[in-house]
Structure 1
Amino acid sequence: MENITSAQNARVKSWAKLQTKKGRQASQTYLLDGWHLVQEAINHDGKLHAVMATAEQLEAHMADVPHGVPIFQITDDIAKKLSDLVTPQGIFAEVTMPSATRDPHFIHDGAWLFLDGIQDPGNVGTMVRTADAAGFAGVVFGEGSVDMYSPKALRAMQGSQFHVQTTTGDLKEWTTAFVDNGINVYGTQLDPEAADLFMVEPQTQFGLIMGNEGQGMDAELAAATSQNLYIPLTGQAESLNVGVAAGIAMFALKAR
């Protein structure tokens, strides 16, 4: 175990760069902040490059770190440099980004969530976590969606990225491939031609598209779906937060 005390240390500078998308893309790794997320990576075969923790956190969790993973003791000041939280817990892990990409033409089962330009990391994290809870197979991040490895998105996902498949892709290609394979793809939009979500029979395999917080689904994408759905509102609110709407739709459509 190496003890690092200077925030100017080369390793610390390298880890700090993982707070940015550019830094993550350059290293093909990302940073987990907090014991719960580190533990999820350990328990679900995340590929750990290193674990960094303060003396207090090492005392509490060092025995749980897999043999062979490099461990670094850091100071509270370094922990603050590595975290975007005001009061970080003081334990981190550098983890490899999954390199495998999925070809939608070879997917024939499971429910999949498609994110079309979802820009708020809190919404993204909520939807991935809900997809996990609803028993979805995976989540596809379409063009314009927030980076799934941003610190805020990772905190909101609460480790669910280790439980479901996550990938990026062209949602038009995914939608077309699913439909060609006989798998329904449902869009969500406020449209006179859309159908009531609760009138659709629950299924085990389908795609569900959630559109951008302000603009909704891409028009070409909406035209390519099997059917577009709306959630009937009985109160006076004009719309729902996209994360809430996604949760309702996922649990309504997914057969148990």
Structure 2
Amino acid sequence: MITSIQNNKVKQWRKLYKRKERLKTNTFLVEGYHLVEEAKKSGWEIREIILVENKDIPTWCQHFSVFLVGESVLKHISRTETSQGILAVIEMKETPLQKNNHVLLLDAIQDPGNLGTIIRTADAAGFGAVILGEETVDVFNDKVIRATQGSLFHIPVISAKLEDMIEELKEVGFTIWASTLEKATYYDELDVPKKVALILGNEGAGIRQVLLEQADTCVKIPIYGKAESLNVGIAASILMYYIKQKQS
């Protein structure tokens, strides 16, 4: 039983909320039964499980290194308003790209909630991978992980230089769609090619010009009211489901 927030283990766990420490240890934290179980079911390596005192240890946890902690320690390391009393330290990994006709590329998405929602939607829409550009928020950020609701463990999420990735995708027959408002065609006026890589851009600045120049087609979503634009997560949902529907 660990009862002091000064314990070295507790200090190590807290450090995992910083990207620098995650990269140093190649691990990250998840919280809640659903996320821990999804990591296990998807074959991600669980290094440690942290369980609050007076909780029964689930049967499936008994194969792992389990640390019991007091309520004060749980509050110190938890990032949720109502903790379920379970966290896990999980080893990072990048799932390799698999054969799929639909790929999502994200250019400098900054909001953790947006990124997590987009990953979750890409998983639901049956996309083959989400590729993160260099300025995109860290996928192992705790807010991103919670927003994915476990989809992080189901779909390959890869960090790459988007300029190079676009060229590689073109070489294997992908058509590149870029979501932008300028010089763009309404998405529902287009035929969907067999292989599509969809680019979405930063919440404020949009897609960088260098990527727009690499795109084959610029697409936009009609705005019927007075809003200037849609949230990037909503735009991603509309476009991914349209692409998938037209290919089903």
Deviation string, structure 1 residues 178-216 (Cα, Å, up to 9, x no partner) = 11221111100001x211111223455321111000000
Report the TM-score when normalising by structure 1.
0.91
Q: Which residue of 2 aligns with 1:186?
A: 177
For the Cα contact (< 8 Å) 1:141–1:167, is it kept in 2? yes
In 1, Cα distance between the equivalents of 2:79 and 2:30?
Answer: 11
Report the TM-score when normalising by structure 2.
0.94
Bigger shift: residues 48-57 or 125-134:
48-57
For the Cα contact (< 8 Å) 1:108–1:183, is it kept in 2? no
User: Shift of the alpha carbon at 1:99?
Assistant: 4.8
Closer/same/farther in 2, CA of residues 141 and 55 from structure 1, 3 Å limit:
same
The number of aligned residues is 246
Deviation string, structure 1 residues 128-166 (Cα, Å, up to 9, x no partner) = 000000001111110111011111111101110111001
Matches within 5 A, 1:93-112: 93-99=88-94, 109-112=100-103
In 2, Cα distance between the equivalents of 1:118 and 1:66?
Answer: 38
In 1, Cα distance between the equivalents of 2:95 and 2:123?
Answer: 19
For the Cα contact (< 8 Å) 2:28–2:89, is it kept in 1? yes
Percent identity over the alignment is 36
Q: Which residue of 1 aligns with 2:154?
A: 163
Q: Of the candidates 205, 212, 218, which is equivalent to residue 222 of structure 1?
A: 212
In 2, Cα distance between the equivalents of 1:161 and 1:40?
Answer: 9
* Structure 1: runs of 5+ lacking an equivalent: none
Closer/same/farther in 2, CA of residues 204 and 97 from structure 1, 3 Å limit:
farther
Matches within 5 A, 1:1-256: 3-57=1-55, 59=56, 61-65=57-61, 67=63, 69-99=64-94, 109-191=100-182, 193-202=183-192, 205-254=195-244, 255-256=247-248
For the Cα contact (< 8 Å) 1:129–1:158, is it kept in 2? yes
Closer/same/farther in 2, CA of residues 56 and 251 from structure 1, 3 Å limit:
farther
User: Shift of the alpha carbon at 1:101?
Assistant: 6.1
When the two chains are superposed, the root-mean-square deviation of aligned CA atoms in Å is: 1.6
Give the letter for the 1:210 counterpart. Answer: L
In 2, Cα distance between the equivalents of 1:52 and 1:148?
Answer: 22
Q: What secondary structure does 2:225 align onto?
A: coil
* Structure 2: runs of 5+ lacking an equivalent: none
Moved over 4 A (4+): 99-102
